[in-house]
Amino acid sequence: MTNTNDTITLTPPAPPAKPDRLLWIDVETTGISRTDSKLLEVGMIVTGMDGVEAHDQFTSIVRPSECSLFDVSPAALRMHLANGLWDQIAGDEHEAVGYPIIALNLKEWLQDEASRYTLHPAGTNVDYDIDILDHQLGEYNGPDWIRSYVSHRKLDLSAFRMADIALGHNPYRDHAGTHRVQDCISRDRSDYAMYLDIMCAGQQGDHE
């Protein structure tokens, strides 16, 4: 006879772990303040953990709702006039690349990526880029909106480069570039591949 008072506890299967991915991030801004600098361009590219194979990406210029030349640091203005970013922003329709639509599109893109992958932010001075995006687009997406989609574990190329400096090298010798997001992310991925090669060569040497 079956005891109907017995309780059977069912343990549902755990959902499969999402694969780890690097989320390369770069922004271009009107200055260096994490709270006051206006966002001018944003780029994100998802890759494998080795940084090689690129998956989805989000890249767009951004036109601030309010911005005068007096809000732009002289160094940033010279740089973004030289690389063509300022002309692009000044020439585009405000609504097409304004803060509200970029905030919405970027949030939806990140939600989709985070539903499929565990995203580890990667790049140069990653916390700075995240802070800029949080402060500038937080009015539309809420406080700390990016951190709800990404892992607390980050890959910051600055750590590798500081170690290089400690060894007497100059890791910034070829870093002039155009200061556009795609160029900066490509540089970071290239540097990361180089550092992985150095680490791999060291491990192989240990086993010789």
Domain of residue 198, CATH code: 3.30.420.10
Q: Is residue 15 part of a domain?
A: no
pLDDT tens profile 30-41: 999 998 999 999
Going edge to edge, which strands form the sheet with 39-47? Answer: 54-61, 39-47, 20-29, 118-123, 155-156
Q: What are 135-176's pLDDT values in tens digits?
A: 999 999 999 999 999 999 999 999 999 999 999 999 998 788
The answer to whether residue 180 is domain-embedded is yes
What is the number of domains present in the chain?
Answer: 1
Q: What is the domain extent for residue 139?
A: 20-206
Partner residues linked to 42 by β-bridges: 27, 60
Q: Does residue 4 lie within any of the structural domains? A: no
Q: Is residue 12 part of a domain?
A: no
